[in-house]
Structures are given as C-alpha cells and as structure tokens.
Amino acid sequence: MNVFDIIGPIMVGPSSSHTAGAVRIGKIARAVSGGQPAVVTIELYGSFAQTYKGHGTDKAIIAGLLGMAPDDERIKDSLELARELGMTFKFRKSQNKEVHPNTALISAVDQTGKKTIVQGSSVGGGRIVVNRINEINVKFNGEYYTLLIPHTDTPGVIAAVTNLLADQGINIAELNMYRSHRGGEAMMVIETDQAVKGEQISLIEAVKTVKKAVLIEPIY
Amino acid sequence: MISYDSIQELADKAKKKGKMISELVLEDQALQMERSREELMEEMRKSLQVMAEAATKGLTAVSKSASGLSGGDANKMRQSVNAGQTLSGKVLSETLAKALAIAEVNACMGRIVAAPTAGSCGIIPAVLLTLKEENDLSENQVVMSLFTAAGLGMVIAKKASISGAEGGCQAECGSAAAMAAAAAVELMGGTPQMCANACAIALKSVLGLVCDPVAGLVEVPCVKRNASGAANALIAAEMALAGIESTIPVDEVIGAMKAIGDAMPKSLKETAEGGLADTPTGKKIARDILR
C-alpha cells in the first residue's frame, strides 16, 4: 500500500468496484480478443446484475472494450460511441451462486467470426480478478504484463517457453498452468516484470503444441 | 521506513524531528516507492487538480445522475452561499457546497479522485480547497497536506478499514473526515499532535455509522454524507487547533472503529438490505430503478 492507494485512483464515478473495476474487465476482454470486437454479449451476475444501470457498469464494460481507461470522461457516452463504431452489444442478467457477486462474463466475436470468452470479477477498490478465458478457468489480476498461452498439455512446453523468456532477460513474477484434463486443452498464464516484444511472441508461438500467445499490458 | 501501524507513532516521530507529518510521509514514500520527492509531489498535484476540476464542475451542474436520485443540490447550496444566506458562516457553507458538488460529479459519472474511496470523494477536497481559497494558501501547501491525509489514511486502512462493505460508512466518510481534519490542522499551522487529535475527534463522532445506500447506489445518503463528513472534519480541526485533546488516544479510536465494523451486521455494510435502504421509500426507489 502507498499514498496513491489512499488518495487515488483518479477515476470516473460512481463506484470503484462497479465502474472502475468494470472498465478493467472490459479492457482485458479487448486485449484477449485481439482488438475491438464486432459483437459482444455480456452476462452480469450478482450485484453487477442488480445495480448495473445506476452504477454505469454497462457503460464501463463497453468503455473498456473500446480501450478506455477508468479515468476517461467519455465512459458515460460509451454506449453511443460503440454504436457509432459499429459494435453491437447485449446485456443479460444471469444467476450463478458459484461466482463472486461482482462478475461479468463477456463473449466477444470479432470481424472474422472468432469468439472469445472472458470472465472477470471486481473484487473491491477497482481491483479485478480474471477467472475464465474461453473454456479454461484461470486466475490473474492484470497488474503485470500477462502472457496467455493456450496449448495442448504436453511435457516440455513450459520449459521451452520459459527458456525463451529467460533468453530475452524477461523476469517471471508468477507462472500458472491450467488444463481441462491430462493431455487436453491447457493455458499457461505468465506474469512478467518486463514487456514481451512482438518477435518474442512469434518465437513462443513457434513452440510445439502452443496455439497462440497473447500479451496483455498492465491495467493499473 | 515507516510501518504505518500507529498515528501516535507518526506524530511522535514528526515532533522529534521537528517536521510536519506530511514531510515525514513524503520522505518515507519516496524511499519505499523508489521515486523522487518531486515525482510524488507532481502525481499528488495532478490529483489535487482533478479534485478542483470536479468541484468547479459540480458547483454549476444541474444535470441528474442516471438514476435521477442526485444532481443539482450543490448548485442550490452555491446559490444560497452567493446570496449571503448562510446560517453557519462562509467557510462552512462553501465547504458543504464543494462536498456536495464533488459527490454529485461522482454520482453522474464524472472524473474524481477516490479519497479514500469514490463514495467519500468529496470530503477531503471540499475542506482543503475551501481553506486554500479563504486563507490564500499555496498549491504546494495543499499538495503537502494531502500526504498527511494519505499517511493517516494508510494507518486507518491497515488497522481498521476504509471500505463500506467491511466497516460501514464510518470506514468511508468517517476515515475521509478524519484524514481531512488532520490535513486541515497541518495547513493551518497546528502541531503533529493536534493533527492526531483532530483525526481522533472526527472519527469518534461517526463511530457506528452504517453504510445503507438506497438501491445499492452511491447516491442516497452518500452525497449528503459527504457534506456532513466535511463539516465533521472542520469541527474536529477547529477543536484540535484550540488545543482540545481526545481523551481516547487516536490509535485506540481506530481500534474501536475496527471492532464496531466487525460487529456491524452485514445488512448495514453496503448490501442495501438495511438502514435507509430498507425504509418504505428506500425500497420503493429500489423497485422503480431496478424494474
């Protein structure tokens, strides 16, 4: 904790959890889907579902999907902005007792028809936790540079990827592996202290059984 | 390095070194964050500027929030002050107007600085910006006083809470008032011990205050509680500057706030299930909005 956690952040109101946190969840979904999606469906759970209109949670998530930061004064006009930019979106209230009370599940389809699912929860003070990417349950908070690497669960993949990062002098803050089942679909989530550059991402994508590598910039 | 476990410790250390609390906090934070003092001053200055912009914007605004529950009251207050129709004097009524203004800007999705939270964002700026205007203080002095507010806020956050969901409104508007009171005392030339007393006096006045937002929105009663929080800060600072001490030491007051917050039922901690949210009118508003 430092002084700017107490006097700060600078943000658009009214609520750090329901507005600032919601912008960040949208921003992560934009990064994971590789840019501005064309069609978005957003399911809201718990308190998000109950109070989203009054807190502007809907505007906040769309603002994040448009790439805005939590202090952007255009957040309150984001729905109109999104329409002007040709993005179609739909909000649905959903129920699921298993998830945190401030949770949004974003399904984003891009111009080519590729669908990306991101689920995140706003856990207080504008901080978030991403807990699902597509069909895989994950856990990261967007504080660091975050590399998402979907791959097939095979021996040696982690070693190959981390060796590539080590060669580039990139320090790993945290590394987690999630898989659907042994030998099945898997996701590596690597949080790093330094930015991973484009050419390094191509090298990682060339590793056997790695499907893709997506870099998410820190959102705080 | 400072551990931010005790406000008394902060005040004692400042006294021993012959410095103000703000000076101590700034030096320590520069060390802990490995950044220069100037950088931290600039970042804090940016926050002060956003606070001032929000106050100016809110004072003349007539628009309503998305729910229709808030907006326009700061403008009414300002007109009343301008007309000289003030019951309690210019400083207090100007402070109330700014606190309402910033809290309304927050409710209307405008840009604010969480201080310490979005729900209590009007209190610290209302007090400090009014004192700046009325006493011709420099921007640098006010920026410094925000380090005192933040330093004390860090102790409160660590030893109790600054979240309504954890500790009720005493933790949000109460903490903001306590931080503002201490910063005001320092701005007006009070000693570090007076800052500690002001913090204690402000907190003591709102112990047990619940967080009961109607329909779960940061509007009713939050906007007006920003005004009363700012008044509470001025009252506490006034007493402390007169040399009045808190019988219960500040760190013990914070301990009491933590215990009260823990004992408070969940229905009174930002769940919109109790208090004003559970009144017939509160429930009707919720039904209408959530429909």
In a domain? residue B153: yes
In a domain? residue A192: yes
Tell if the CB–CB gap between B40 and A3 is shorter than 8 Å: yes
- On whether both A89 and A24 belong to a single domain, the answer is yes
Tell me, yes or no, if B290 comes closer than 8 A to chain A by beta carbon.
yes
- On whether both A24 and A119 belong to a single domain, the answer is yes
Tell if the CB–CB gap between B44 and A7 is shorter than 8 Å: yes
Q: Give me the amino acid identity at B4.
A: Y
Q: Residue A97: what pLDDT?
A: 83
Q: What is the pTM of this model?
A: 0.91
Mean pLDDT of A34-41: 96
In a domain? residue B202: yes
DSSP annotation string for B62-91: -PPPTTSSS-SHHHHHHHHHHTT--SS-HH
Residue B170: which pLDDT band, with cuts at 50, 70 and 90?
very high
Q: How far is CA A189 from the centre of its chain?
A: 12
In a domain? residue B2: no
- With DSSP H G I counted as helix, E B as strand and the rest as coil, what are the percentages for chain A, rounded to 5? 35, 35, 35
Contacts 24+ apart (CB under 8 A), A90-96: A90/A40, A90/A41, A90/A42, A91/A42, A91/A43, A91/A44, A91/A52, A91/A58, A92/A41, A92/A42, A92/A43, A92/A44, A93/A43, A93/A44, A93/A49, A94/A43, A94/A44, A94/A45, A94/A49, A95/A45, A95/A49, A96/A45
- On whether both A126 and A158 belong to a single domain, the answer is no
Q: Residue B152: what pLDDT?
A: 98
Secondary structure (3-state) at A35? coil
Closest partner residue to B216 among A4, A50, A125, by Cβ? Answer: A50
- B71 φ/ψ angles, rounded to the nearest 5 degrees: 125, 135
Q: Which domain holds residue A187?
A: 145-216
In a domain? residue A138: no
Mean pLDDT of A28-37: 96
Total number of domains in chain A: 2
In a domain? residue B63: yes
In a domain? residue A38: yes
Q: Residue B289: what pLDDT?
A: 84
Size of interface A-B (CB pairs under 8 A): 132
- On whether both A73 and A180 belong to a single domain, the answer is no
Q: In this structure, how many other beta carbons lie within 10 angstroms of the beta carbon of residue B274?
A: 18
In a domain? residue A24: yes
Q: Residue A51: what pLDDT?
A: 87
Q: Which domain holds residue B53?
A: 7-290
In a domain? residue B150: yes
- CATH code for position B127: 1.10.4100
In a domain? residue B72: yes
- On whether both A28 and A122 belong to a single domain, the answer is yes
Omega cis (within 30) before B265: no
- CATH code for position A45: 3.30.1330.90
Total number of domains in chain B: 1
In a domain? residue A197: yes
Contact B65, B191 (CB under 8 A): no
Contact B113, B47 (CB under 8 A): yes
- On whether both A108 and A192 belong to a single domain, the answer is no
Kindly report, residue by residue over A116-160, the tens digit of the pLDDT: 999 999 998 899 999 999 999 999 999 999 999 999 999 999 999
Kindly report, residue by residue over B25-48, the tens digit of the pLDDT: 999 999 999 999 999 999 999 999
- On whether both A83 and A111 belong to a single domain, the answer is yes
- What is d(CA B213, CA B215) in angstroms, rounded to the nearest whole number? 6
Closest partner residue to B29 among A2, A8, A54, by Cβ? Answer: A2
> What distance in Å separates residue B2's CA from the closest CA in chain A?
11
Q: Residue A53: what pLDDT?
A: 87
- What is d(CA A81, CA A60) in angstroms, rounded to the nearest whole number? 12
Which class for A198: exposed (0-12), middle (13-18), buried (19 or more C-beta within 10 A)?
exposed
- On whether both A28 and A127 belong to a single domain, the answer is yes
Tell if the CB–CB gap between A12 and B111 is shorter than 8 Å: yes
- On whether both A74 and A182 belong to a single domain, the answer is no
In a domain? residue A140: no
On average, the pLDDT of chain A sits at 95
In a domain? residue A139: no
> What distance in Å separates residue A71's CA from the closest CA in chain B?
6
Kindly report, residue by residue over B191-247, the tens digit of the pLDDT: 999 999 999 999 999 999 999 999 999 999 999 999 999 999 999 999 999 999 999
- On whether both A110 and A71 belong to a single domain, the answer is yes
- On whether both A14 and A115 belong to a single domain, the answer is yes
Q: What's the ipTM?
A: 0.97
- On whether both A106 and A185 belong to a single domain, the answer is no
Kindly report, residue by residue over A150-193, the tens digit of the pLDDT: 999 999 999 999 999 999 999 999 999 999 899 999 999 999 99
Mean pLDDT of B130-141: 97
List of chain A residues whose C-beta atoms are within 8 Å of the C-beta of residue B165: 124
Q: Residue A180: what pLDDT?
A: 87
Percent of chain A at pLDDT above 90? 90
- CATH code for position A209: 3.30.70.260
Distances from the Cα of B190 to the Cα of A155, B11, B237, angstroms: 66, 12, 9
> What distance in Å separates residue B272's CA from the closest CA in chain A?
10
Q: Residue A194: what pLDDT?
A: 93
